[in-house]
Structure 1
Amino acid sequence: MADAAVSPDPDLIRALRALSNPMRLQLLSWLREPERHFSPEGAIADPAEVGVCVSHIQAKAGLAQSTVSAYMAELERAGLVRSTRVGKWTHYKRDEERIARLVADLGRTL
């Protein structure tokens, strides 16, 4: 008798879908070491504590602000980053606990 098919975890699917875009994967990689990839000049909050302002991400990526915002929103919906508002600016930081769970879940699934 064949094993019953088990549906993959929807959160895992959402995260993998977010990571399937090379630029979103690059953005997540840059956020791993914000002090290395983003200049502290002009930052209004500590990138290690609060995250990186979307305008700094946009400048580094060389993409339209709306595109970067859409990419970051997709990463946030997947639980890979968290956003924090500082005044009128949105800052993004990796959710390291969620990323670690994703890696563990992926290891168990595959």
Structure 2
Amino acid sequence: MAKDDILEQQGTSISDPKLALHPAYSVTNIQSKIQTLDGKKLTYSAWVKLFRLHATAYQVLNHIDNTPPPAVDSPEYSSWKELDALVLQWIFSTVSDDLLPSILENESTARAAWLKLEK
């Protein structure tokens, strides 16, 4: 029996939004899309433009703009938290080794790191 048939019997399908993979998870090498922010080869303003463009295309702009996260007790919070960690990893991996220590925190969000870099 095919996987599609099994899912259909269970009342779900591959097109079920709950089973769909968020577009951000398809990014395998962020450095190939956004160069490293170092202030020399790539300026902050250029990095912001590239990062925002990428975040928009992969539907995670709400993790770096002023959009508030869902409430902790909300059913959406868990998936939001996972995506936020992914965006935070994108930020960490696209800043220079000199800038990284200034944005590392134990319990940080992508937005918090974004704001620290802005300062």
What TM-score bracket applies, with the shorter chain setting the length? 0.3 to 0.5
Between structures 1 and 2, the one with greater strand share: 1
**So what's the TM-score if we normalise by structure 1?**
0.37
TM-score normalised to structure 2 length? 0.35
